[in-house]
């Protein structure tokens, strides 16, 4: 079983659809992250949750809505997206203790295409 | 100026050769530094942390130059399996910033 699991792996949606991305970590970590990776651009941090509390929202449009019901699960709810939102969405987890000192473990990503 | 900047490459490297590349960062308060590796259409994975005194892990050597604000990665005796994108990651507090990556292609 992989440490960080993301579903679905691929998603195609229209601009008026509502969908959700799911992430689950089996590593006992207390921090979870959503990153966006677009072609030819660096990974962009979207949201950070420490102990289920959102600690960072990196100026992400409201059409992306995160949810963290517990320290093992993270969702990204999507609605009325734009074609430029097409990207690879990566979930990651880490053990956070007052600062980043360790390793980020990434899921395999959800590749999103918005038509 | 980008917070973390890398030469995108690609660096075309003959098998067995040595390749080195740098990553510059703009935040002088940065505390921790890492190299991640990302294979095509895969997730990034930690390659190695970068320590102040420099560190080595097998064929990989990482260096940190705080005065000039850059880190470097050197790969010796390149293998075909070293072909990947190498991502520089800089941490300041709990904020991580990724570079755009340097693509390395090792050819027979």
Question: What is the reported pLDDT for A53?
Answer: 77
For chain B, which ranges sit under pLDDT 70? none
- Distance (Å) from the alpha carbon of A50 to chain B's nearest alpha carbon: 10
Backbone angles phi, psi at B3, to 5 degrees: -65, -40
Sheet holding A73-79, edge to edge: A4-7, A18-25, A73-79, A64-70
Question: What is the reported pLDDT for A99?
Answer: 65
What is the chain B residue with the closest CA to A111? B41
Pair B99, B23: CB distance under 8 Å: yes
Pair A82, A22: CB distance under 8 Å: no
CA distance A93 to A74: 10
Question: What is the reported pLDDT for B22?
Answer: 97
Question: What is the reported pLDDT for A59?
Answer: 84
Q: Which of A43, A108, A109 sits opposite B98 (nearest CB)?
A: A43
The answer to whether A103 contacts B44, with C-beta atoms less than 8 Å apart, is no
Q: Which of A43, A98, A100 sits opposite B32 (nearest CB)?
A: A100
For chain A, which ranges sit under pLDDT 50? none
The answer to whether B94 contacts A104, with C-beta atoms less than 8 Å apart, is no
What is the chain B residue with the closest CA to A98? B94
Instruction: Give the burial string for B48-80 (b: 16+ CB within 10 Å, else e).
Output: bbbeeeeeeeeebbbbbeeeeebbbbebeebee
Q: Which of A42, A103, A108 sits opposite B43 (nearest CB)?
A: A108
Per DSSP, what are the bridge partners of residue A91?
A34
Question: What is the reported pLDDT for A101?
Answer: 66
What is the chain B residue with the closest CA to A103? B46
Question: What is the reported pLDDT for B95?
Answer: 79
The answer to whether A55 contacts B94, with C-beta atoms less than 8 Å apart, is yes
CA distance A84 to B70: 32
- How much is the mean pLDDT over chain A? 90
């Amino acid at each position: 079983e992989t440490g960080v699991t993301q579903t679905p792996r691929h998603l195609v949606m229209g601009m008026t659809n509502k969908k959700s991305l799911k992430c689950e970590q089996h590593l006992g970590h207390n921090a979870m992250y959503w990153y966006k990776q677009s072609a030819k651009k660096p990974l962009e941090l979207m949201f950070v949750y420490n102990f289920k509390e959102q600690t960072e929202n990196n100026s992400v449009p409201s059409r992306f809505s995160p949810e963290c019901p517990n320290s093992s699960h993270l969702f990204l709810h999507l609605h009325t997206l734009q074609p430029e939102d097409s990207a690879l969405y990566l979930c990651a987890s880490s053990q956070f203790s007052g600062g980043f000192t360790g390793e980020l473990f990434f899921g395999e990503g959800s590749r999103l295409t918005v038509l | 100026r980008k917070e973390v900047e890398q030469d995108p490459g690609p660096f075309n490297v003959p098998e067995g050769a040595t390749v080195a590349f740098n990553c510059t960062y703009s935040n002088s308060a940065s505390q921790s530094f890492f190299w991640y590796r990302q294979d095509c259409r895969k997730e990034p994975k930690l390659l190695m942390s970068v320590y102040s005194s420099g560190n080595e892990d097998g064929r990989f050597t990482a260096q940190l130059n705080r005065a000039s604000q850059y880190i470097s990665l050197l790969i010796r005796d390149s293998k075909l399996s070293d072909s990947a994108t190498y991502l520089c990651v800089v941490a300041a507090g709990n904020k991580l910033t990724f570079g755009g990556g340097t693509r390395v292609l090792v050819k027979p």
